[in-house]
Structure 1
Amino acid sequence: MAYRPSKQFKNTVLGTGAVVVLAALNAPAALTFAQERYHAYKIGQSSYKIQYGSWEQVRLPEEYRINAMHAALLHTGKVLLIAGSGNSQKKFDQGTFDTVLWDPQDDSFKKIPTPEDFFCSGHSQLPDGRLLVAGGTARYEVLDGKVTRAGGGMRVKNESPDKLARLKKGTRFRSPSGVEYVSKFDVTVPKAKREFEITYGRAGQVKPWRTKVVAAEARVFVEAVKAGAEGLTTEVAQYRVVGLRGKDADNVYGLAERLSVEKQDFQGIKSAYEFDPKAEKYVPVDPMKDARWYPTLVALQDGRVLAVSGLNDVGDVVPGDNEYYDPRTKQWTRGPFRYFPTYPALFLLQGGKLLYTGSNAGYGPKGKGREPGVWDLKTDKFTEVAGLEDPDRLETSSSVLLAPAQDQRVMVLGGGGVGESKLSSSRTAIVDLKEDDPVFRSSARLPQGTRYLSSVLLPDDSVFTTGGSRDYRGRGASDIHKAQFYYPRTDSFVAAADPSVGRNYHSEALLLPDGRVATFGSDPLFADKDNTRLGKFEHRLEVYSPPYLYRDPARRPVLGAGPAEVGPDGRATFEAAHPERIRRARLMRPSAVTHTTDVEQRSIELGLTRAAGSVTVEVPKDPTLVPPGWYMLFVTDADGTPSVAKWLRVGAPKPDPDPAPAPEPEE
């Protein structure tokens, strides 16, 4: 029987042929259309999808289109997309803050009331499945040339040991020369401390104790009452609090250095919340000790979370004051002292130390806190890890703990120069933390220099990388519409289908329980190659289906009924119609990602026992390898085809028998 092309195929060929004829008649626009038509035809073929996978855009109703700055997968299978004010000064001024909950199973959406501006906050998965969200925006930046009133940080002192000093937003501070500044936020200064002094006479006898008062201190951002040169203060001065009298006026005062009209950076908030996936709402908890904007939150083996870095309430990088959150008490306590640039990539290692890869999101001096190293939280010792090529191009790079986590190998991919640098790197490097003297060693290069690359662990142990741009925030139309797989065992990249949506700054990607990868956001500076038109935030939501989802669906591994929690012996048994097809099991921690920083995702190799009609998995009992919390359980066949994940809770937080000390701040 002769082959007869389908009507659809004939229409496609005829349409394409007609347009090619027009192209031959010198019609560039028609040629472009023809290329696009052919490309759409090609990527729709089954043979193409089996080799490269495919992308699909999710229909997103207008009312749910937000500037997604943060994305977190919850153990309900839904994805929390957080915008806060979404890098919009207008929304910030209006107090309009956004969060949307997306259900990938039916592509439904729900708006979540958002109590504060979580724009550029930090987040971490908690042992009970809640998501800790801490920090955010107190004030937007004002760029050089736009500042009309001098401003900066005011240190407010309280010398009274008997009462707090509570100063409301709008409090005025007056210098000896009469220049006045007004506070932009409420500030509370603790009571001063009484300290005892022991003195000795000539014969060595102890004299009666004397007490001295040590003033307490807090910070607040202030702005000049008068615009222009009249509000400038170029020298250190002590400021009287307008309205205070008598002893209060003597005890409470302000101290400030030079207050200028230079650029004023974003400022952070202290607020912290837990998002409850079942009630689908934010629940307030105790605020942090320090305000933080661009902080990293790291889940630890005992269930606590360490908050690191960020811009504080006067717009300075937190100088090294880090803090722990305990989900049992809902309170924060002082942590080890260590300085990092904002959004540092910190990974919990087997044994309880943290690896800082050098990846970060930007704010901080060029020569401070950017060297990779292993950080011992209990001693506060930091051991540098050398070997990275392009060490000056780690900003906006991506980092990932390669699968399986037992190998203790961490990879750094791409990155760029500090600040608005045009430099980018195609370098990737891997450090093996099991070595006695670990160093980074160069690995397969990316196809081109890439900033803002998203890197997602897949159930077959590969790393899916997508998006990014060559230049800062996609300048010069430099978005990279490419994706690829990295295979650790062969140290090689293999091309994947090209995404249709460009992703640079403020973009995210994460693994879904069905094995797909979802991508969100992007915040380009400009919309054209010549950088003449301002860019717009990318609202399109695009989902990638890897090639393993286009293999024979009848042979895809399936997990049946089983427990929601690992037993005391670390085991969990699930029904399986064809256990003989199942070769490997992986426990994968759900992502909480922003600014290319995802320190949550990890993939743990599990023990696997097959029986008639069931499989049993065994989870390692080391909480530094498997921190307590909810995980996706995937099983794969010999080709790496994964099942749809089952959600499995592992471990309950236990008190740390040897809690980390709180070392004194370094000079």
Structure 2
Amino acid sequence: MGGAGRGRQRGPGAPGARLIPGPHTPAPRGGVVLRASRRLRPLALTAIALAVLLGVNLPPAVAYVQDWQYQRLINSLDYQRQFGKWDVLELPVDQRVNAIHSALLPSGKIMLIAGSGNKEDMFATKALKSLLYDPATGASKVIPVPDDMFCAGQTLLPDGRLLVAGGTARYEKLDGAVTFAGGAMRVKNENPDVGRDIPAGTEFVSPEGKAYRTIRPNVVPPATKVATRTGATVTAAEERVFVEAVAPGPQGITAQPGLQYAITGLDAAAGKDVYGLGEALTLDKQNYQGTEAAYTFDPVAETWSRVDDMDFARWYPTLTPLPNGEVLALSGLDNIGNVLNGETEHFDPRTNRFVEDKQLTQYFPTYPAVFATEQPNRLFYSGTNSGYGPAEAGRLPGFWDLGTNVLTPVGGLRDPNLLETAGSAWLGPVQDQRMVVVGGGGIGESPLTTARIDEIDLDSPDPAFRPGPVLPDPVRYPNLTTLPDDSMLISHGSRDYRGKGSSDVLDAHLLRPEGGPGGTLVEAADPVVGRNYHGQAVLLPDGRVLTAGSDPLFDDERNTIPGTFEQRLEIYTPPYLFQGGKRPEITAAPDVMRRGTTVEVQTPDAERIQKVRLMRLMSSTHVTAVDQFSIAVDARATGPDTLELALPAEIETMQVGNYMLVLVDDRGVPSVGSMVRVP
């Protein structure tokens, strides 16, 4: 992205795919040498000396020799043992998608969801896609999606299905690009006996004759009727719909709110019961609009199925899994394009239904990072978010009590005004209850960005953020991925909004949990492909990390060339897979593990296993991965080939869901994950 990492070489790979060994030296931007070359100053001096000796043109010779030396260095085993390695993967042209959402499924395959992929022409033609990619074989398959899941929420359900809720009902129209005045129409129904369908195209006419049409269908339920001693009280039902003027331009504007609109085609009697109350209908910017639709993906049948709609349309929502396997749907833009005012609902996977939680009314900006904690009925909002909402509302991190609906703020965070597009994740196993906030930027298209890493211990008697390490570059959109050895991969992002000014940060670091607040930051190999907005990262069963997506606003430093969506994948192999020798192996393990029980796992490496981790299968979008965590499991060798695992008893620790069981040996090398379900 942004002109970086565009060099491509052919290399061996899985059938149908091209693996480009890497990383290659990223192209300098605006004459600035990237961090990778700062490690290589001795190589640059060698190149200069050689160029002078040979009497050749200095800049090309220096670049050639430095690149050759750099490639030799990063492909050496000593380098990879310390920093790891990145490999770029190009799928066949007909298998490429604009990945917006990523999820690891119990089958070991990765679901990459594009929907319309931020392409309005794809939305118009309903060319809506998802891609199923198998990292073990390199095989991939495009699977059409039945609705536009672009910018939905997603998480895995206890039975292994992927739940995707919300998405795009209508693309935004910016100031100056709105042709037909539009806005919200409140449709009232005073009839307690029957509801009323409001099909798309329903026309509302003002007293002065201005006509407006609905964009999407809706249903207004019957009015509420309550018997009293003297008769009955009827309270009109109401639904808000978005309408556009029939006439283009300024003649379609109605600035006066509260006018009553008649519905074309209704007879006089029905017209008294069902009518519209218009809000201001203008040519101002019109936001994206959300949809109520929800679907699940079956990883066995590899098909999409519709489930119960949400009560509220949502675009940019968060789906937070609860310890009991249910899911909270939070925030998002509604069917008008406004941020929901705290309306919350939960999904029950046993009934496949959403139910509004009327007592939960916390307001959050869109894509809020809200996590279940080890305290019953207490969630933690890290303050990080990705998108819409005013600066003065819903920005303070804190504990959310689901019993009282009270959010208790926590302090101590550096740069508290730079939480948009920041990353947050657990540091170490979830029992430690340590969370970090990494990077982030100002609200909207702000150029402000921070390099902070701050930690909070949720089990502290007085929880507050504490300063941790500082990244070498400020960054927004960082991908955070928890690894089986308890370290966290921090990769990618950009210094400016959506990579403006070719500001992608081609950096990666490993954050180790030991060493004080925020852990210890060490360098990792540099990725090749820039990833900013719409970038994701997912842990693979073999201990590597797959990264996908990126949607820069521009492709050049001067911000004149429209951005190109990044369709290449890039996979990081951590240093622990270059340590030599045989990695630990699981030869037999239960595929179902119950809380508070003891189970046996067969492994020829039982006596050298140092850690056992259950890694929750994760999903990722918009720097938000609230279903990512690991569980530390007590283990002891009961024989040369047998480990006995004592599983945590508390549901808040060992939450219902799907995990990978991973054994980590005395060198820090993990086994390939074995899929496990906690019922």
Report what 1:5 is aligned to. none
2:603 partner letter: A
The structure 1 residue matched to 2:612, chosen from 573, 582, 585, is 585
1:233 partner letter: T
Report what 1:517 is aligned to. 545
2:268 partner letter: G
1:486 partner letter: L
Report what 1:234 is aligned to. 255
Q: Distance in 2 between matches of 1:380 and 1:420?
A: 32
Shift of 1:571: 2.6
1:337 partner letter: T
Shift of 1:569: 4.8
Q: Distance in 2 between matches of 1:378 and 1:632?
A: 32
Q: Deviations over 1:616-661 (max 9, x none)?
A: 22221211112111101111112311111111111x2xxxxxxxxx
Report what 1:559 is aligned to. 586
Q: How does 1:607-646 map to 2 (within 5 A)?
A: 607-612=634-639, 613-646=641-674
Report what 2:375 is aligned to. 351
1:480 alignment partner, SS class: coil
2:220 partner letter: V
2:81 alignment partner, SS class: helix
The structure 2 residue matched to 1:499, chosen from 527, 530, 554, is 527
Shift of 1:24: 5.7
Q: How does 1:418-567 map to 2 (within 5 A)?
A: 418-490=443-515, 491-554=519-582, 556-567=583-594
Q: Distance in 2 between matches of 1:29 and 1:144?
A: 47
The structure 1 residue matched to 2:74, chosen from 22, 28, 43, is 43
2:164 alignment partner, SS class: strand
2:521 partner letter: F
463-472 or 632-641, larger mean C-alpha shift: 632-641
1:303 partnered with 2:334: no
The structure 2 residue matched to 1:267, chosen from 289, 301, 312, is 289
- Could you say if the C-alpha distance between residues 526 and 24 of structure 1 is closer, same or farther in structure 2, counting changes exceeding 3 Å? farther
Report what 1:647 is aligned to. 675
How high is the sequence identity, in percent, across the aligned residues?
Answer: 47
* Cα pair 1:16 1:37 within 8 Å, conserved: no
- Could you say if the C-alpha distance between residues 357 and 557 of structure 1 is closer, same or farther in structure 2, counting changes exceeding 3 Å? same
* Cα pair 1:350 1:624 within 8 Å, conserved: yes
Q: Distance in 1 between matches of 2:153 and 2:595?
A: 32
Report what 2:198 is aligned to. 167
Shift of 1:22: 9.9
1:211 partnered with 2:239: no
Report what 1:127 is aligned to. 158
Report what 2:216 is aligned to. 185
The structure 2 residue matched to 1:411, chosen from 419, 436, 444, is 436
1:293 partner letter: W
Q: Distance in 1 between matches of 2:657 and 2:155?
A: 11
17-26 or 395-404, larger mean C-alpha shift: 17-26
Q: How does 1:313-392 map to 2 (within 5 A)?
A: 313-335=335-357, 336-352=360-376, 353-392=378-417
Q: Which runs of 5+ in 2 are unaligned?
A: 1-42
- Could you say if the C-alpha distance between residues 60 and 20 of structure 1 is closer, same or farther in structure 2, counting changes exceeding 3 Å? farther
Shift of 1:510: 1.2
Q: Distance in 1 between matches of 2:619 and 2:176?
A: 36
Q: Distance in 2 between matches of 1:425 and 1:496?
A: 20
Q: Deviations over 1:441-470 (max 9, x none)?
A: 111111111000001101111111000000
Shift of 1:574: 1.6
* Cα pair 1:427 1:445 within 8 Å, conserved: yes
2:125 partner letter: Q
Q: Deviations over 1:165-204 (max 9, x none)?
A: 111100111111111111101110000011234xxxxxxx
1:371 alignment partner, SS class: coil
Report what 1:100 is aligned to. 131
2:62 alignment partner, SS class: helix
Q: Deviations over 1:204-259 (max 9, x none)?
A: xxxx4321210001111100111111100010111111111121111111112211
Q: Distance in 1 between matches of 2:540 and 2:457?
A: 28
1:618 partner letter: A
* Cα pair 1:151 1:223 within 8 Å, conserved: yes
The structure 2 residue matched to 1:113, chosen from 122, 133, 144, is 144
70-79 or 559-568, larger mean C-alpha shift: 559-568
Q: Distance in 2 between matches of 1:111 and 1:22?
A: 54
Report what 2:10 is aligned to. none
Report what 2:5 is aligned to. none
1:321 alignment partner, SS class: coil
Shift of 1:161: 0.6
The structure 1 residue matched to 2:626, chosen from 593, 599, 608, is 599
Shift of 1:437: 1.9
Shift of 1:36: 2.3
1:52 partnered with 2:83: yes
Q: Distance in 2 between matches of 1:64 and 1:27?
A: 42
Shift of 1:81: 0.2
Q: Deviations over 1:393-449 (max 9, x none)?
A: 000000001211111111100000000000001111111111122111111111111
Q: Distance in 1 between matches of 2:82 and 2:321?
A: 36
The structure 2 residue matched to 1:282, chosen from 300, 304, 316, is 304
- Could you say if the C-alpha distance between residues 568 and 440 of structure 1 is closer, same or farther in structure 2, counting changes exceeding 3 Å? closer
Shift of 1:27: 4.7
The structure 2 residue matched to 1:61, chosen from 92, 103, 109, is 92
1:583 alignment partner, SS class: strand
224-233 or 612-621, larger mean C-alpha shift: 612-621
* Cα pair 1:398 1:454 within 8 Å, conserved: yes
Shift of 1:301: 1.5
The alignment covers a number of residue pairs equal to 627
Shift of 1:130: 0.9
- Could you say if the C-alpha distance between residues 25 and 605 of structure 1 is closer, same or farther in structure 2, counting changes exceeding 3 Å? same
Shift of 1:20: 3.6
Q: Distance in 2 between matches of 1:298 and 1:501?
A: 29
Q: Deviations over 1:295-345 (max 9, x none)?
A: 000111121100000000010001111101001111111121111000000
430-439 or 266-275, larger mean C-alpha shift: 430-439
1:549 alignment partner, SS class: helix
* Cα pair 1:172 1:182 within 8 Å, conserved: yes
- Could you say if the C-alpha distance between residues 33 and 157 of structure 1 is closer, same or farther in structure 2, counting changes exceeding 3 Å? farther
- Could you say if the C-alpha distance between residues 511 and 46 of structure 1 is closer, same or farther in structure 2, counting changes exceeding 3 Å? same
2:470 alignment partner, SS class: coil
Structure 1 segments, 4+ long, off by >3 Å, are: 15-27
Shift of 1:563: 1.3
1:28 alignment partner, SS class: helix
The structure 2 residue matched to 1:72, chosen from 103, 107, 110, is 103
Q: Distance in 1 between matches of 2:564 and 2:509?
A: 26
Q: Distance in 1 between matches of 2:335 and 2:637?
A: 56
Report what 1:662 is aligned to. none
The two structures, once aligned, show a CA RMSD in angstroms of 1.6
Q: Deviations over 1:472-528 (max 9, x none)?
A: 000111100110011121122100000010010000001111010110010001111
2:94 alignment partner, SS class: helix
Shift of 1:18: 11
Report what 1:86 is aligned to. 117
Report what 2:24 is aligned to. none
